[in-house]
Amino acid sequence: MTITLDHRAINQSPLALLTASEARMLGIGLGVRQYARVRAGIYVARAAYEKLPGWQRYAVRVHAFVRKHPDAVLCLESAAVLLGLPYFNEPKDIHVYDADRSASRRFGDVAVHTGADPRAVGDVRGALTTSPVDTAIDLMRVLPLAQGLAVADAAISPKQQGFTSVRGMRDLGLSQRNRRGRGRMNWVLDHADDRAESPAESVSRAVIGWCGFEHPELQREFHYEGEDDRVDFLFPSVGAIGEADGWGKYDFDDPRKAEQHLRNEKRREDRLRRHGHAFARWDLSDVWKITPLVTALRAAGVPLKHPRETAKLASLKSRPREKPYRARETT
């Protein structure tokens, strides 16, 4: 059984898939106002589909493709959906691996990949994907650096159900004949950290460094007032704390749980402030914009220690693998 990061793996479509034949049998009209076609002959409720965040729309498209092509081997972002590796917003293409092809091809929004280096293939609840390690390496070769770092961190982080090590990925990656993206892969592996607990933390860590701020300590623990508090980032020279919020942890689907979580978080932040720690908080959308993150860190007194890396920061704006977006999203 293929190892997956179960807390993020999307093993079934977020919306019910309806085939044209099923609609005929059930007497359902597939009017364009009510239903959106996500694959030839496969439909979903349009209003619900249009309300989904980009990463969930992509999961619907991937599962619709698998329903039409159950023998296809998913790779790259499409494999990441089922394996639970991070992917961002809504990728443009469905990615498929075919070792028997002599050259890679494109068929509409389906990119079929081949190559000189073989990929291990596994089964994820009836769907076929390239192995988690192969998928992670392939993504690190093609994604922008900050996104690739999120993939590498997830692959090695115990808190994220990681399944390998930096050395394991580096050995496999360097053994491959494919040299495309090798420099990108090496940078990501040089900076991967198994203490990262979320993609938001990984992307934040990259951007904090590129902006020139002091390198933070990750997952520092404090023991104040009889409580144990672990923080995402500690900037040691000034004792400032940084938190990269992932709003999913607040259970907004359950108002009572969300309210309790928010109260606990407020008490925690107040406790840390009472003991002299300035506090900076941001979410992933702030990181993509850069300026809100910089403003939060400066307000907390975090010092600049390194030159700004403008080329790497510019890579945050270059997202050719994604559909147009209104806000950055991840799973």
Give tens-digit pLDDT for 6-46.
Answer: 778 999 999 999 999 999 999 999 999 999 999 999 999 99
**From CA 149, how far away is CA 163, in angstroms rounded?**
15
Between the CA atoms of 169, 323, 159 and 148, what dihedral angle is there, to the nearest 10 degrees?
30
Q: Which of the two residues, 33 and 250, has the higher pLDDT score?
A: 33
Q: Which residue in 142, 224, 230 sits closest to 181, CA to CA? A: 142
What pLDDT does 259 receive? 67
**From CA 134, how far away is CA 175, in angstroms rounded?**
12
What pLDDT does 302 receive? 98
Write out the two tokens for 203: 């992307």
Write out the two tokens for 232: 């995402």
Across all residues in the chain, what is the average pLDDT? Answer: 91
151: helix, strand or coil = helix
Q: Which of the two residues, 330 and 101, has the higher pLDDT score?
A: 101
Burial state string for 33-68 with b = 16 or more CB within 10 A and e = fewer than 16: eebbebbeebbbeeeebeebbbbbbbbbbbbbbbbe
- List, for residues 135-144, the tens digit of each pLDDT value: 999 999 999 9
pTM above 0.75, yes or no: yes
**From CA 278, how far away is CA 288, in angstroms rounded?**
23
Write out the two tokens for 279: 């506090």
Confidence of residue 247 (pLDDT cuts 50, 70, 90): very low
CA angle at residue 69 from 92 to 181, to 5 degrees?
40
Write out the two tokens for 133: 């390690």
Q: Quick one: which H or E segment has residue 265?
A: helix 255-274
What pLDDT does 1 receive? 41
- List, for residues 303-316, the tens digit of each pLDDT value: 999 999 999 999 99
User: At residue 263, does pLDDT exceed 60?
Assistant: yes
Write out the two tokens for 200: 């938001």
**From CA 50, how far away is CA 100, in angstroms rounded?**
37
